[in-house]
Amino acid sequence: MRPRVRLSLIGFQVRERQTNRFNPGKSIVGAHSIEEFCAKLKRPRRIMLLVMAGKPVDDFIESLLPHLEEGDIIIDGGNSHFPDSNRRTRYLKEKGIRFVGSGVSGGEEGARYGPSLMPGGNEEAWPHIKDIFQSIAAKSDGEACCDWVGDEGAGHFVKMVHNGIEYGDMQLICEAYDILKRGLGMPVNEIADVFAKWNKGVLDSFLIEITRDVLYFNDNDGTPLVEKILDKAGQKGTGKWTAINALDLGMPVTLIGEAVFARCLSAIKDERIRASSLLDGPTPEFTGDKQAFIDDLEQALYASKIISYAQGFMLIQEAAREYGWKLNKPSIALMWRGGCIIRSVFLKDITNAYRNNPDLENLLFDNFFKAAIQKAQQGWRNVVSKGALWGIPTPAFSTALSFYDGYRTRDLPANLLQAQRDYFGAHTFRIKPECANENYPEGKDIHVNWTGRGGDVSASTYVV
């Protein structure tokens, strides 16, 4: 049965050349069926699907297969979940077909002027599509924002992390807007001026730029349209996928998780309206140097963005280990420098960090970012503390700072947590190397009868 969704197929290098009246001078050939479409393509055929993620992709693959030959290439350019791309790569390889799952980011502007492309899958396909992909991709300092990412679903995995970081960036910007609006009592046009200034400094990015434009935009009555928009944020699930995968891999990608939960909180609008009349809290009242605080907020936003990207690359690094992928971190940072939604000036610094040290354990260990965080710390802490004192929620700012403080802490209170687990569930613990002795040997799973009433058998083995 033919899939009952709109067909969107791009066939590369058609045999015939025909000028489309809507695209004069372009090599476009029409086809009235999948069979005719496949027949018109040069071998190996290169076919790109741009359809809704999920079952429609599988349906179209099945519709194409009877008309393809060994060595042909199917490219999925939709927002597919990476496990689906893993499965499709393996399935099509058995049939002699090369599959590419490519993340695509850029929105309407990227569609017209060049997106960021993140291809992964069957690497044998890359030489056949490399020139095409890199020619249509966005450019940053003359380099194409497109390179081979890795095996199987690696391309869609990197796009998933990109979308998660996008969630985090947007939430951070919204929290900064809320602090300026409610904490400092600034009108929207003045907040727009702040974002316009920030877009000329370390925060120069697509999302800061569009925030400026949104805040400057007035309705027909001359008032800011943004103030009339219902405060219920939507989501399509890619941020949730990132957070779930981070939990699956045991990676503390806290900022993206908080950004997803913030959208969930926004969605219960009716309940929040009731709570606003029943629950008390402080009323923001700012005193002091307003410009100095705005400068602190800029640094807090910058530092929190660094944490978000550091967490994102931690997840990418762990995924490479877990799934056996070879991922090129400098190329990933380059792919995000132009065309995509999270493009920003400091992605060039991330690219440089990983080019200087491809084995960099954590972005925060790079000298540039270590110095940037150090410079931002005082203002960052001031903003988070003011948010708490004013009763203005800052889940993304706060979790970024908490992660930083947790990450730099040699001894966390998890020792007590593990003792609790052993007490109530006999889950065992391990002793610190410097405290090891004959009774508590190093590297062994130990259970203690904490009360004298328990047993000596552990319920499970200690797992980190």
Tens-place pLDDT, residues 50-77: 999 999 999 999 999 999 999 999 999 9
71 is in an annotated binding site: no
Strand, coil or helix: what is 139? strand
Q: How sure is the predictor about 330, in pLDDT bands with cuts at 50, 70 and 90?
A: confident
| Local structure of residue 440 (DSSP, 8 states) | S
Closest Cα partner for 398 from 170, 182, 172?
172
200 is in an annotated binding site: no
Alpha helices in 146-219 (DSSP H): 154-178, 188-198, 206-216
Active site residue 166: yes
Strand, coil or helix: what is 249? helix
Catalytic residue among 42, 62, 108, 159: 159
Q: How far is CA 455 from CA 94, 165, 296, 356, 431, in A?
A: 53, 47, 55, 54, 20
pLDDT at residue 368 tops 50: yes
Q: In the numeric block, which tokens belong to residue 150?
A: 């890795």
Q: Could you tell me the residue ranges of all domains in the chain?
A: 9-148, 160-408, 413-463
Q: How far is CA 211 from CA 105, 174, 197, 427, in A?
A: 18, 9, 12, 49
Tell me the CATH number for domain 413-463: 1.20.5.320
Closest Cα partner for 111 from 334, 332, 337, 341?
341
- Contact between 149 and 328 under an 8 Å Cβ cutoff? The reply is yes
33 is in an annotated binding site: no
Closest Cα partner for 49 from 37, 57, 41?
57
C-alpha span between 56 and 309 (Å, rounded): 32
Provide mean pLDDT across the span 130-135: 95
pLDDT at residue 203 tops 70: yes
Q: Tell me phi and psi for residue 117, to 5 degrees.
A: -120, 130
| Local structure of residue 180 (DSSP, 8 states) | I
Q: In the numeric block, which tokens belong to residue 41?
A: 């393509």
Query: What's the confidence (pLDDT) of residue 443?
Result: 93
H-run or E-run covering 61? helix 55-64
67 is in an annotated binding site: no
135 is in an annotated binding site: no
Alpha carbon 54 to its chain centroid, in Å, reads 20
Task: Summarize pLDDT for 139-182 with one digit per residue, the tens.
Answer: 988 889 999 999 999 999 999 999 999 999 999 999 999 999 99
Query: What's the confidence (pLDDT) of residue 14?
Result: 42
Q: In the numeric block, which tokens belong to residue 18?
A: 């025909």
352 is in an annotated binding site: no
Query: What's the confidence (pLDDT) of residue 338?
Result: 81
| Local structure of residue 181 (DSSP, 8 states) | I
C-alpha span between 385 and 281 (Å, rounded): 15
pLDDT at residue 323 tops 50: yes
Query: What's the confidence (pLDDT) of residue 462?
Result: 61
pLDDT at residue 236 tops 90: no
Is 3.30.870.10 the CATH number for 160-408?
no
163 is in an annotated binding site: yes
Residue the block writes with tokens 């963005």: 305
Q: How sure is the predictor about 295, in pLDDT bands with cuts at 50, 70 and 90?
A: very high
Mean per-residue pLDDT over the chain, rounded: 91
Residue the block writes with tokens 């699956």: 248
9-11 β-sheet, strand order: 9-11, 46-49, 73-76, 98-105, 116-121, 150-151
Task: Summarize pLDDT for 151-163 with one digit per residue, the tens.
Answer: 999 999 999 999 9
- Contact between 426 and 432 under an 8 Å Cβ cutoff? The reply is no
Neighbours of 148 (CB within 10 A): 23
Q: In the numeric block, which tokens belong to residue 403?
A: 């992660």
* Least confident span in 199-208, 338-347, 355-364: 338-347
- Contact between 446 and 430 under an 8 Å Cβ cutoff? The reply is yes
Contacts of 195 by beta carbon, 8 Å cutoff, 6+ apart: 208, 211, 212, 215
Q: In the numeric block, which tokens belong to residue 188?
A: 């929207």
pLDDT at residue 459 tops 90: no
Per CATH, which fold does 9-148 belong to?
Rossmann fold (3.40.50)
Query: What's the confidence (pLDDT) of residue 55?
Result: 94
C-alpha span between 165 and 103 (Å, rounded): 14
Alpha helices in 344-451 (DSSP H): 347-356, 367-390, 395-407, 414-425
Q: Tell me phi and psi for residue 428, to 5 degrees.
A: 70, 165
Catalytic residue among 40, 123, 166, 375: 166
pLDDT at residue 102 tops 60: yes
Provide mean pLDDT across the span 94-121: 90
Task: Summarize pLDDT for 266-279 with one digit per residue, the tens.
Answer: 999 999 999 999 99
